[in-house]
Structure 1
Amino acid sequence: MKVVIFCGGLGTRLREETEFRPKPMVPVGGRPIVWHIMKYYAQFGHKEFILCLGYKGEVIKDYFRNYHWNTSSVTLKLGSKPQIKYHTTHDEEDWTVTLLDTGLNTMTGGRLKKALEFVEDDTFLLTYGDGLTNSDINASIEFHRQQGKLCTLTAVHPAGRFGELGMDGTSVCSFAEKPDSESTFINGGFFVLNKAVAPLLTSDDCIFERGPLETLATQRQLAAWQHEGFWQCMDTYREYEMLNAMWDEGKAPWKIW
């Protein structure tokens, strides 16, 4: 199943790290956070990725184009007939990565619209390039199929600064402003979608989290996979430090490889 990852935002709230690279390339434990996200999906058998590039997308292209070089020990033979010998193999050799330039100023709905051209199956996965979780991806897919709706999002508990989901059982019926307590749920991304959402993606200016998701909620076509475990995005330098501390201390909940 294809995994679409939004990688094109400016990351302005993490300017300390994103002035010279896109936020998905900000490292956690020495590897870009988007690598951790992809690595997590791969553990559930989903190894075909579509990265929606925008701001400094060339940095992401260079990383994956030179992936073996970036992750391996090498011996170089210099001279008029140079040679490179790689000494390291890696577990990502069966990954397929589509690096899709979706435009610098394109909104998330517009980026997804462009990505759908590369999605063959009726159902696909979608997430953001700056969030980590230990949610059961395949269980959420099965839940999505059982619900029979066009879209399922992973509902998680907030850190205290995100918009609350209005829910009726497992259906999302509305969106609100910042929640009053951490007992509420927010949209944590990690979506399962049907390609039938395509008509809702109207233009490059379409913001997926507004028009399309709000319409799906109104139509009762948006389900919520409720995840009580770990979820954390990396929007601020404090969150960057926290995720790196988790990794360094061997307490990263998303590390299942």
Structure 2
Amino acid sequence: MKAVILAGGYGTRIGEETHLKPKPMIEIGTKPILWHIMSLYSHYGITEFIICLGYKGYAIKEFFLNYNLHMSDFTIHLNDNTITNHSHRIEPWKVTLINTGLNTETGGRVKKIQNYIGDEPFCLTYGDGLSNVNIKELIAFHKKHGKTATVTAVQPPGRFGSLVLDKQSVTSFQEKPLGDGGWVNGGFFVLNPDVFNYISGDKSVFETDTLVQLVNKNELVAYQHTGFWHPMDTLRDKNKLVELWESNNAPWKVW
């Protein structure tokens, strides 16, 4: 199974960082949040990734093109232009980087990677949120319920889109109401390929177009995750995640 990561947004609410780099490249500890997300999937055996690029996508391309240099200690021999690696981390990952446009909406970005998916279910998540969701259990839940889409429902404080649930079925989707502490869209989707039938084009917003259509067709179910989930929308969010990581108390570090 492949994991698709949305990594093309402007990240305007954390502009202190994103004027220099795309949001998924903001570092938690010494590694981009994108790396942390991929490490979670990799822990559960998903090692093939499709990254949907947009704003400052070249920075993400450069990171993976020079991955060993970014993750290694090394000596450069300038006299003969050779490099000696002293320590390095090798990941069993296959990473496909796709330019999905600068102003393409979230649904449109998903539509643009359709040719790279094939006819199998796939995972999808945002490049700016961390969780300790059990991906293996999430996928099993999706297969058991036999619907087009599964969303991971989480319970942070309000300010996020609200899911109304009837057992596992989603009966209503409201994006970012004034919060009441209910279940919200936490990303970490599992999708069948027919989800592409619910995406019209570049201006299609996955959250308010695609998910609403799926609700109306009774094709969206929710995996209720009561563990850790935290977005990185603001500098305060980023600092909180860094604090958890540097104190060796990062709940998402299951690997």
Q: TM-score range by the shorter chain?
A: over 0.9
Q: Which runs of 4+ in 1 moved over 6 A?
A: none
Instruction: Tell me by how many angstroms 1:160 deviates.
Output: 1.8
Conserved? CA contact 1:170–1:224, under 8 Å? yes
Work out the CA distance in 2 between the residues paired with 1:171 and 1:139.
17
Correspondence list, 1:100-179, <5 A = 100-176=98-174, 177-178=176-177
Work out the CA distance in 2 between the residues paired with 1:34 and 1:159.
23
Instruction: Tell me by how many angstroms 1:86 deviates.
Output: 1.6
Match of 1:188 among 178, 186, 189: 186
Correspondence list, 1:195-210, <5 A = 195-210=193-208
Instruction: Tell me by how many angstroms 1:96 deviates.
Output: 0.5
Which residue is 2:81 aligned to? 82
Which residue is 1:99 aligned to? 97
Structure 2-normalised TM-score? 0.97
Instruction: Tell me by how many angstroms 1:180 deviates.
Output: 4.6
Out of 70-79 and 94-103, give the one that drifted further. Answer: 70-79
Work out the CA distance in 1 between the residues paired with 2:179 and 2:47.
38
Instruction: Tell me by how many angstroms 1:163 deviates.
Output: 2.0
Work out the CA distance in 2 between the residues paired with 1:139 and 1:116.
25
Which residue is 2:41 aligned to? 41
Residue 4 in 1 paired to residue 4 in 2? yes
Unaligned runs of 5+ in 2: none
Conserved? CA contact 1:149–1:222, under 8 Å? yes
Unaligned runs of 5+ in 1: none
Residue 69 in 1 paired to residue 62 in 2? no
Correspondence list, 1:237-256, <5 A = 237-256=235-254
Which residue is 1:236 aligned to? 234
Conserved? CA contact 2:75–2:84, under 8 Å? yes
> Percent identical across equivalent pairs?
48
Instruction: Tell me by how many angstroms 1:197 deviates.
Output: 1.0
Residue 211 in 1 paired to residue 220 in 2? no
Conserved? CA contact 2:73–2:88, under 8 Å? no
Q: Amino acid of the residue matched to residue 54 of structure 1? A: G
Instruction: Tell me by how many angstroms 1:181 deviates.
Output: 2.8
Instruction: Tell me by how many angstroms 1:179 deviates.
Output: 5.4
Which residue is 2:32 aligned to? 32
2:52 is paired with a residue whose SS is strand
The 1:180–1:89 alpha-carbon spacing in structure 2 relative to 1, beyond 3 Å, is closer
Work out the CA distance in 1 between the residues paired with 2:249 and 2:239.
14
1:76 is paired with a residue whose SS is strand
Q: Amino acid of the residue matched to residue 218 of structure 2? A: R
Instruction: Tell me by how many angstroms 1:174 deviates.
Output: 0.7
Conserved? CA contact 1:164–1:179, under 8 Å? no
Conserved? CA contact 1:25–1:60, under 8 Å? yes
Deviations along 1:134-182, whole A, 9 cap, x unmatched?
1111101000011010000000002221121111110111123525532
Instruction: Tell me by how many angstroms 1:220 deviates.
Output: 0.6
Q: Amino acid of the residue matched to residue 89 of structure 2? A: H
Deviations along 1:172-198, whole A, 9 cap, x unmatched?
11123525532x100100000000111
Instruction: Tell me by how many angstroms 1:244 deviates.
Output: 0.4
Work out the CA distance in 2 between the residues paired with 1:121 and 1:174.
28
Conserved? CA contact 2:48–2:93, under 8 Å? yes
